[in-house]
Amino acid sequence: MKFETLAIDNGIILAEAGLAPEPDWFDPEYWRARDAGETLGRGRGEAISVGASGEWVLRHYRRGGFPAHLLEDGYLWLGLERTRPVRELRLLAILHERGVPVPRPVAVRVVRLGGVYRGDLISVRIRGAVTLAECAPSLDAGRWRDIGNAIGCFHRLGGWHADLNAHNLLLAPSGAWLVDLDRGRLVIPGCRAQSRNLGRLRRSLARLALLPACTPGWLALLEAWRQTRTGGGA
């Protein structure tokens, strides 16, 4: 994917080539005034639907945990390519081109105020999607295998997720998708860090009281993940 840079007041927009982005695209109130701006998430990862027909998702970068009490959405400026929005855009672009089920990135905005920046990301919306946290109890073994295949494909092609949990896995008619790759990166396929992604996901299911009821589904996910990660699955 090719991206073009647009200079704005105190910052930069990096967008898909030929898109001609506007700074207003990153303002939720701009979309709400146009009967868009549906909230799609909650908490730190809250996102809203934007675009002429809600075909995109806008997410503002916010801190979690204790740092959020000090600097909710500000990050230390170390150069444009080291900002979290740009790094996530680059990662999504690489993985999308490799056929990994992640959203296609559209644009990012980085606004700098001295040594601090704030950022936003727009990506393509996955239509008809619900989170694993919302639908896990109703899933059959085939849908759990879809999730395992998606994670296995992600890992086989070098992906590592910083916070793989039940809210960052989407189920849609088009399949299973991984979202919110903030702080994710490319690693050596098969490394221990990738396996720890699964441990984090399992703990997330446990915290949501979805285990042990979903244990058969979890086992189906693991089997599909192992097969796809090694190239033997879908």
Catalytic (active-site) positions: 163
Length of the chain: 234
Q: DSSP secondary-structure letter at 24?
A: G
Most distant pair of Cα atoms in the chain: their distance = 53
Please answer whether residues 119 and 83 qualify as being in contact, where contact means their C-beta atoms are separated by less than 8 angstroms. Answer: yes
- Measured from the Cβ of residue 66, the count of other Cβ atoms closer than 10 Å reads 7
Which of 83, 123, 127 has the alpha carbon at shortest distance from 105?
123
**Residue 171, phi-psi category: left (phi > 0), alpha (psi -120 to 50), beta (remainder):** beta
Q: What are the tokens at 185? A: 């990166």
Beta bridge partners, 99, equal: none
Which of 89, 159, 97, 91 has the alpha carbon at shortest distance from 121?
89
Radius of gyration of the CA atoms of the chain, in A: 18
* Side chain identity, residue 11: G
